[in-house]
Amino acid sequence: MTRNKPDKAKIVILISGRGSNMRAIIDACDRGEVLAEVVLVVSNNEAAAGLDYARQRNIDVFCLSHKAFSSRDEFDQAIAEHIKSYAPDLICLAGFMRILGAEFVQQFEGKIINIHPSLLPKYKGLHTHKRALDAGDQKAGCSVHYVTAELDDGEVIAQTQVPILPDDDEQALATRVLAVEHETYLRAIQSVLNATSS
Ligand code: GRF
């Protein structure tokens, strides 16, 4: 994947909910801290709160409920076709709560990254904070990694640790981790873009 250096990289973001990581990416692009432009936000959930922000910023939004499709592959293919029409340099999963199948991932190999709220390879999948607390871990954090056909398994690009404190519950830990997610995601995006434009 190579780009002409003067061009801004085109980013597509996939969300299912709140969209705070999406917002951080859009804002960093606007401020010129990340040399890219968010060209499209995709969601499988029309009610995703983050969509309002994308619309306010005049970013194209594409919503498609997975419930309208009889198979994962058909849903994946429908969003893949739409995404391809934007010719993105990078696809950022930011709280996208659908597993993307192998065929989708292969079409965009090396161009899809995800943020996961654990210190991968620990705690792939859901309920990461509860699992870290139950295990008696002393630290938690977040990881940005390349997306492969295996869940939360691709190469880690950036990671940030936070301490787990004695009185933490899931909510307190989730809040502490989220506070470092945005910066971690921006660092990872810049690192991928630097690597692909050189
Ligand atoms: C974040 O905790 C992220 O690590 C996980 O889903 C959450 C999304 O939060 N994959 P937001 O929608 O970006 O606020």
**Alpha-carbon torsion, ordered 29, 31, 35, 37, to 10 deg:** 30
Sheet with 36-43: strands ordered across: 60-63, 36-43, 9-15, 90-93, 112-116, 139-146, 156-163
Residue 116 is a catalytic residue: yes
Residue 142 Cα: closest atom of ligand 1: 4
Q: Which of 66, 82, 116, 127 is catalytic?
A: 116
CA distances from 128 to 57, 73, 74, 90 (A): 32, 27, 29, 26
CA distance 196 to 122: 28
Q: Residues with beta carbon inside 6 Å of ligand 1?
A: 15, 17-22, 94-95, 115-117, 142, 178, 181
Cβ neighbour number for residue 78 with a 10 Å cutoff = 15
Q: What is the pLDDT along the chain (198 residues), one digit of tens a residue?
A: 555 445 899 999 999 999 999 999 999 999 999 999 999 999 999 999 999 999 999 999 999 999 999 999 999 999 999 999 999 999 999 999 999 999 999 999 999 999 999 999 999 999 999 999 999 999 999 999 999 999 999 999 999 999 999 999 999 999 999 999 999 999 999 999 999 876
Residue 4, pLDDT score: 47
CA distance 36 to 21: 15
